[in-house]
């Protein structure tokens, strides 16, 4: 049985990015894609479990190049996403999911041993809560990106709406690490204050909460808040920011404390945001951006 430090679970997609000004671009996307790529430089045993059509496996070339094991579940189609930026604010987005590879089910999960399993869905069409329960029952430590449940796809228009999640407290109690951006955090908790939102997540049972926003990233752990600013010089690689910072954080957190892991994750995500696509740099590059300790 193959063994991994972290297995990332979620769809990899065709992304169509429509900026406020400039040309439309097409690229590989998906929360699991960006987060797994961000975990690779830490030198851990990483796997990506995804569901897609066999003819689209070229989308995973960067993942293979990064030394990540790929476990592909067959699907009739590969998920596609469209992201429109209607204003100059890169955090303001309108999204559609024109097609989906379908839910990843318990019966489709590979027989592997993973110390930790991170559930990184693009939308609520990637997997259900029961898959997280299955992983926990198999002895995996569980982490989750709340966009996997907050982003809800209209079955007719395929437009994505951000909505509250009825089972949010069940999810937060099950997962040891939870990530949300500021929009998702406010929707789930009712407060626009990131520290208050993280505190409510903790009150609901989450051991470690990350909340990302445009200027940096906050982590709450054992009643204490930690914050690191991003240092990116431009935002040409904005897509995948939150996925990247959380993937980097989870990989570093395996052997380091919260402050060290957060500095590392913010530095790696800052480098990634300066160029489109996933993070493909080195550990040395990240540590240089972190600076003297």
Asked if the model's pLDDT at residue 90 lies above 80, the reply is: no
Mind listing the pLDDT tens digit for each residue in 168-207? Answer: 999 999 999 999 999 999 999 999 999 999 999 999 999 9
- Would you say residue 113 has pLDDT above 70? yes
Instruction: Determine the Cα–Cα distance for residues 71 and 40; give it in Å rounded to an integer.
Output: 16
Does residue 38 surpass a pLDDT of 70?
yes
Of 133, 134, 160, nearest to 148 (Cα)?
160
Give the DSSP letter string of 67-120: T-EEEEEE-SS--EEEEE--SS-TT--EEEEEE------GGG----EEEEEEE-
In the structure encoding, which two tokens stand for residue 159, read together? 């437009």
CA distances from 228 to 118, 218, 235 (A): 22, 7, 17
- Model confidence at 241, pLDDT cuts 50, 70, 90, reads very high
Q: How far apart are CA 115 and CA 155, in angstroms?
A: 35
DSSP H or E stretch at residue 265: helix 258-273
Provide the residue ranges of all domains of the chain, joining segments of one domain with +.
3-290
Proportion of the chain above pLDDT 70, given as a percent: 99
The pTM for the full model equals 0.95
Question: Per CATH, the architecture of 3-290 is what?
Answer: 3-Layer(aba) Sandwich (3.40)
Query: Average pLDDT in the 18-26 region?
Result: 83
């Amino acid at each position: 049985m193959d063994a991994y430090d972290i297995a990332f679970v979620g769809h990899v997609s065709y992304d169509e990015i429509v900026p406020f000004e400039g040309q439309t671009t097409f690229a590989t996307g998906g929360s699991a894609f960006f987060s797994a790529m961000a975990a690779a430089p830490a030198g851990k045993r990483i796997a990506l479990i995804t569901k897609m059509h066999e003819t689209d496996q070229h989308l995973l070339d960067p993942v293979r190049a990064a030394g990540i094991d790929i476990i592909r579940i067959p699907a009739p189609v590969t998920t596609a996403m469209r992201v429109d930026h209607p204003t100059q604010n890169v955090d303001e987005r309108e999204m559609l999911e024109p097609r989906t590879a379908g839910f990843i089910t318990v019966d489709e999960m590979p027989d592997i041993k993973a110390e930790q399993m991170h559930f990184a869905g693009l939308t609520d069409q990637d997997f259900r809560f029961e898959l997280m329960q299955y992983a926990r029952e198999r002895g995996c430590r569980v982490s989750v990106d709340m966009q996997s449940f907050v982003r809800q796809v209209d079955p007719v228009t395929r437009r994505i709406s951000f909505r509250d999640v009825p089972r949010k407290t069940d999810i937060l109690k099950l997962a040891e690490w939870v990530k949300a951006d500021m929009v998702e955090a406010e929707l789930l908790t009712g407060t626009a204050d990131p520290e208050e939102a993280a505190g409510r997540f903790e009150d609901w049972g989450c051991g470690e909460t990350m909340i990302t926003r445009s200027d940096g990233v906050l982590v709450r752990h054992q009643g204490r808040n930690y914050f690191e600013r991003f240092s990116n010089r431009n935002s040409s690689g904005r897509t995948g920011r939150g996925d990247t910072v959380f993937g980097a954080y989870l990989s570093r957190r395996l052997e380091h404390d919260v402050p060290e892991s957060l500095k590392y994750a913010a530095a790696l995500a800052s480098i990634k945001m300066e160029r489109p696509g996933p993070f493909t740099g080195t550990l040395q590059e990240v540590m240089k951006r972190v600076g003297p300790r």
